Amino acid sequence: MKLEIKNITKTFDGLKALDNVSLTLNKGVYGLLGANGSGKTTLFRLICGVIKSDDGEILYNNKDVSANSEAFRSILGFLPQDFSYYPDFTGIKFMLYISALKGLRGKLATRRCLELLELVGLSDQKNKKIKKYSGGMKQRLGIAQTLINDPEILILDEPTVGLDPKERVRFRNLISSLSENKIIILSTHIVSDVEYISNEVLVLNKGVVQDRGLVTELMNNIENSVWEVETSLDEIDLYYQKYPVSNQKYVDDRVILRIISTVKPNENALHVKASLEDLYLYYFRTEDQTNADF
């Protein structure tokens, strides 16, 4: 089981959404981390065959997916960020409807849908209308419908947006349980979502794969780049203009800033342990902030 993305480039109106992206993915969970506009959704649309690349190719098990598009779609499951559904359908009716669209009908479809609703914890809510589902329940239903064809590749675009902490934990546990025999790519800008379930994190920044590795490995990369600086109220704006600031705390008439920088911001700055929020700010600094570090 191997998905290969080779030298993929995609341009919209003269701007490169993806620039020579290459990845090799085997079974497991991959967290695709990126800011808005980093190219995450474009990459997913290319993998799913919704759009075509300007250059490069995508292979699955050494076969060009564009030459075997129908066969590839049959082993692909995709949950878009804006999951569409019929609000007046019940959970089971919606599942049976999607099953019919995928060519599965009759008793086999009913059995498969009931199994999946049980898997995602919705069996006791199967006869409730979807418009009465919570955000987490709708996301779980979205996962269930992507699994009808038992896909080998599962693509999830910002699946935890709008979920409360309890629903987010349940969602992560569900994804982990599915990862044993699938390639799962999960896009997010929430670092904690990928920390617990991802075998590997892929950092996509301005259409380029900037880094990849375990969260712990990526955290090691910024080990010496997080500082605390005590400053006056008058100087706060100067630091914000020059550095990414992940936190500020007021102490009497002074302010303690948590700063991301590869160089010491001032002579009194102190190294502190990096957090997940620091990791995100490190990779997605503005161009001016990046230049300020060096």
Three-state secondary structure call for residue 139: helix
Residues 176 and 30 in one domain: yes
Q: Where in the sequence is the domain holding 201, given as residue range(s)?
A: 2-219
Round the average pLDDT of the chain to a whole number and report it: 90
278: nearest Cα among 232, 241, 228: 228
List the CATH number of the domain containing 104. 3.40.50.300
Pair of tokens at residue 235: 């100087």
d(Cα 66, Cα 163) in Å, to the nearest integer? 35
b/e string for 66-81 if b means 16 or more Cβ within 10 A? eeeeeebbebbbbbbe
End residue of a domain, out of 219, 248, 270: 219
For residues 237 and 136, membership in a common domain is answered with: no
Same-domain check for residues 207 and 274: no
Task: Give percent of the chain with pLDDT exceeding 70.
Answer: 97
What is the number of other CB atoms lying within 10 angstroms of the CB of residue 255?
Answer: 18
274 and 163 housed in the same domain = no
Examine the fold and report which residue of 219, 246, 271 is the final residue of a domain before the chain moves on.
219
Give CA separation, 103 vs 75, 106, 108, 149, in Å: 13, 10, 11, 9
Look at residue 189 and tell me whether its pLDDT is greater than 80.
no
pLDDT of residue 127 exceeding 90: yes
Amino acid at 292: A
Same domain, 58 and 160: yes
Boundary (domain end) residue, out of 194, 219, 244: 219
Number of domains in the chain: 2
Quote the longest CA-to-CA distance of the chain. Answer: 73
Handedness of CA 222, 280, 184, 10 (dihedral sign): negative
Task: Please tell me the pTM assigned to this model.
Answer: 0.85
The 10s digit of each residue's pLDDT in 211-235 is 999 888 888 889 899 999 999 988 9
* pLDDT tens digits, one per residue of 64-80: 998 888 889 899 999 98
170 and 272 housed in the same domain: no
